[in-house]
Structures are given as C-alpha cells and as structure tokens.
Amino acid sequence: MTSKSFVQEAEIRVLGLCVSKLLHYIWYNFFSIALLAKGIKMKTHTLLMPLDMHLHLRDGVMLENIAPLTAYSFSGALVMPNLVPPVSTLDDIKAYKQRIMAAVPNDYFEPYMTLFYKNYDKAFLESVADSITAIKLYPAGITTNSEGGVSSFDIEEMRLTLQTMSDLNIPLCVHGETDGFVMDREAEFMTIYELLATNFPKLKIIMEHITTKAAVDMLEKHENLYATITVHHLLITLDDVVGGMMKPHLFCKPIAKRPEDMQALLSVALEAHPKVMFGSDSAPHPQHKKESCGCAAGVFTAPIALQLLCELFEAHGKLDNLQAFVSDNAQNIYGICAEFKEITLEKRPFIVPENYSGVVPMYAGETISWAIESVD
Ligand code: DOR
Ligand code: ZN
C-alpha cells in the first residue's frame, strides 16, 4: 500500500469513528430530551462508599495513569502487592502508599495496603500490623509477578507466620490455584483452603477472585472463609474467552470457567451473601502485552466496574443488594470504616472507551447501559 493511500485509509477510519461518536451523541441527547419532554426522569441509582477489595495499581507511569480512575468512583481499594520486587518490607508499604496518594491528589481515596506473603517472624509482623490491611499469598509462579510466592504449603513451616497473623487479626488473602490442569486449579486448591481454615480457625481467610461452584460451596463449610468476586467472572465463561475468536482482553488468572460456575457466583453475589464482597482484580497491562503472543493475564475493568455491576444487578432485579456487595460486606468483613463518597449512576447508554492511556478495558468500544452521573 502506498503511503498516500495508507494516510487516506487512516483518515477515513478516523472520520468513521468521529461520525459514529457524533451519531451516538445526537441519539443520546435526543433520547434524554425526549424523556424530559415527557416528564420521565431517567433511572438513577446511588451507591455509598464503594470499595474495590482486590485491585492492581502497578507503579510508575502506569500507576499515575490508572490510580485516578479508581479513585474517582471508589472510596477505597485493597491494593495488591505483586510489584517487581514485591511489596515485602515496612518501607516498601509506606513508600508505595505515598506514590499511590501522589497519583490521586484531588480525590479522597484510601489505599488499603497489602504485604506480599512470605514466612515472616513475629517481631516483623508486629511492626507492620498497623500499616497493612491484609497479607496476600500467591502460590509461586502461578500468576503475574508471583515468582517469590509460596512453593510448598507445609503448614508447619507456615505456622508461626499464620498464627501470629491470626493473633494480630491480620487477614490472609489467597490466590487459590494449584499448578494442575488449568480448569481444575481452583477446585484442587480447596484442600489447601481446608487445611488453612482448620489449622487457624480464628484467621480470616479471603479466597480471592473465586471462579467455581466448588469455592462457593466452601464458603459455607468454614466460618473463617470469605471471598471476593470480580465483575468479569459474573459476566463471562470460558466460552467468551476462547469459544470463538480468542479475546485477549478477557484472559486472566484464574480463567473464567463453566456456566454452572458462573451461576454459583451469581447466586451469592446477587444476594450479597455476607461472606462475599466485590474485588475487581482489575489488572492493567499495556495493549501490546495483551495483544501479543504470550498474552499477559488480567482484565482491566476499574473505570467501568460500577456501571457493569449496576447493569447486572438491575437485569436480575437485585439493585437493592448492590450496596452490600460493593461496600457494606467488605466493611464488616475487614472491620474498616470507609470515608464518605456518594456515587450516582444513571441508566443511559455509555460507550466504553477504546483505551485508557494505552490500556484496553473490558468491552472496549461497546455500549453499556449505565453511566456515572455524579460523584460527591
Ligand atoms: O489475571 C490476573 N492478573 N490474575 C492475577 O492474579 C494477577 C493479575 C495481574 O497482576 O496482572
Ligand atoms: Zn489479582
């Protein structure tokens, strides 16, 4: 192709995009004015102090670009420690928290900090207890930047750390996957959850980003087990990821599973079961790392999570339960008191941007039916 025709083609594509945005804008305004003229108010829903209890914010320029998106609509978030190197000292925690706060100067936003799990001694845990909200355990090598994680689940080797955490009331968040067959990894991890839950009955254990019916069933078995659920695992199964053309932006760890698993997750999320809470596991990667051979794992949902949750809960007639799922349950489970923030969402078409500073969100370019109207 000559450079001239390439430029012409690019111009036509840009023009096409502008025209489609303009048409959408006209249609939306026409739609709103028509409703107003008829005296019909658009449906709104208000959420107080939304919390994202599992979030990847990264560092450096990515942190600066991404953190404001969550800080805009969430009161706080539990920030994951899988940086390179991982967040594993008191200085790391303090410095990372400062960098997060510097990235969101104008929004009230509380980063709840986590420490990367290793076998730590009692003195160290006592020294960090007031600066962290939880400790996050990764099986070694199981996901992004987890190479320094736990390679053997020998309870006796872990006992001192876990018992001290229990005594100091520091919750343990767990990425619960074995290195077995990819569809079975979470279900296989249930025996490890049993081991942890029974050996440390007073330790709060959060099964992170659960994706299976097996994990939902496990919630009922042990008083000290809780779970986070992402919005994408409530919306997609493995079919959506690889059933047709492969969708790299829906690929994450743990991978989405079967329809019956998604149904089990929906059953507890929509009822806002008191042991489950929202944790987006929003995991930004640059576009070229997703759209490449060796696609990085992670679905980026931070800027559209609340809108998608409204859409989903409304579709199931459960909007009244969303407040508990996105805030109240987390405050009860973690014993935290989130600072005031009020988010009003409106039921109107919203086109998900193609990318946010080079990170492609879930449903990029598609229209969803709720948008953020105001933040107070
Ligand atoms: O898909 C994932 N991406 N799962 C994780 O557990 C980590 C995350 C990341 O950090 O990119
Ligand atoms: Zn994660």
Q: Which residues does a 6 A CB cutoff place in the pocket of ligand 1?
A: 56, 82, 143-144, 175, 252-253, 281, 283, 297-298
Shared domain for 49 and 34, answered yes or no, is: no
Indicate the SS3 state at residue 321. helix
> How high is the pLDDT of residue 23?
57
Report how far Cα 98 is from the mean position of its chain's Cα atoms: 21
Inter-residue contact 355 to 286 (CB < 8 Å): no
Q: What angle do CA 287, 345, 329 make, to 5 degrees?
A: 85
The minimum-distance atom of ligand 1 relative to the CA of 175 is 6
Grouping H, G, I as helix, E, B as strand and the rest as coil, residue 172 is strand
Are residue 3 and residue 124 in the same domain, yes or no? no
Looking at the CA of 206, name the nearest ligand: 2
Q: Are residues 181 and 59 in the same domain?
A: yes
Pair 218, 111 in one domain: yes
Element (H, E) at 103: helix 90-103
Q: Which of 370, 326, 356 is nearest to 77 (CA)?
A: 326
Is 217 known to be catalytic? no
Gap from CA of 55 to ligand 2 centroid (Å) = 6
For 221, the token pair is: 């078995």
Measured from the Cα of 145, ligand 1's closest atom is 10
Q: How many A from CA of 192 to the centre of ligand 1? A: 20
CA of 330 to the centre of ligand 1 (A): 21
Cα torsion 323, 327, 331, 332 to 10°: value is 40
**Ligand 1 centroid to residue 190 C-alpha, Å:** 20
Q: Which ligand is nearest to the CA of 141?
A: 1
Give the residue whose CA is nearest to atom 10 of ligand 1.
144
Q: Are residues 8 and 129 in the same domain?
A: no
Q: Are residues 29 and 95 in the same domain?
A: no
Kindly state whether residues 15 and 102 are assigned to the same domain.
Answer: no
What is the percent of the chain where pLDDT is above 70?
89
Ligand with an atom nearest the CA of residue 173: 2
CB 77 within 8 A of CB 107: no
pTM: 0.91
Give the Cα separation of 31 and 344 in Å (integer): 20
* Dihedral sign (CA 307, 145, 254, 110): negative
Say whether both 293 and 221 belong to one domain.
yes
Q: Are residues 36 and 69 in the same domain?
A: no
What is the pLDDT, as a whole number, of residue 308?
98
Q: How far apart are CA 335 and CA 9, in angstroms?
A: 56
Residue nearest to atom 3 of ligand 1 (CA): 298
CATH number at residue 345: 3.20.20.140
Helices 185-199 & 155-168 angle (0-180, nearest 10): 60
Quick one: 107 exposed, middle or buried, by C-beta within 10 A (0-12, 13-18, 19+)? middle
Are both 17 and 76 inside the same structural domain?
no
- Give me the number of domains the chain comprises: 2
Contact 49, 323 (CB under 8 A): no
Cα(54) to ligand 2 centroid in Å equals 6
Q: How far apart are CA 55 and CA 239, in angstroms?
A: 25
| CB contact set of 340 (below 8 Å; sequence gap of 6+) | 48, 49, 75
Measured from the Cα of 208, ligand 1's closest atom is: 6
Q: For residue 274, is it left (φ>0), alpha (ψ between -120 and 50) or beta? A: alpha
32/88 same-domain check? no
Q: What is the pLDDT of residue 126?
A: 98
The C-alpha atoms of residue 79 and residue 112 are separated, in whole angstroms, by: 6
Q: Confirm if 107 and 145 have CB atoms less than 8 A apart.
A: no
- Taking CA atoms only, the protein residue closest to ligand 1 atom 2 is 298
Q: Closest ligand 1 atom, CA of 56?
A: 10
Q: Which residue ranges of the chain lie beneath pLDDT 70?
A: 1-40
Please check whether residues 136 and 168 belong to one and the same domain. Answer: yes
- Determine the structural domain holding residue 335 and report its residue range: 44-375
Distance 354 CA to ligand 2 centre (A): 23
Task: Please report how the helices 60-73 and 90-103 are oriented relative to each other, as an axis angle in degrees rounded to 10.
Answer: 70
- At 17 the pLDDT is 45
Q: Ligand 1 test: best mutation among 84, 144, 229, most atoms within 8 Å of CB?
A: 144
| Catalytic residue from among 52, 92, 261, 281 | 281
Instruction: Compute the C-alpha angle 197/202/206, nearest 5°.
Output: 55
pLDDT reported for residue 314: 98
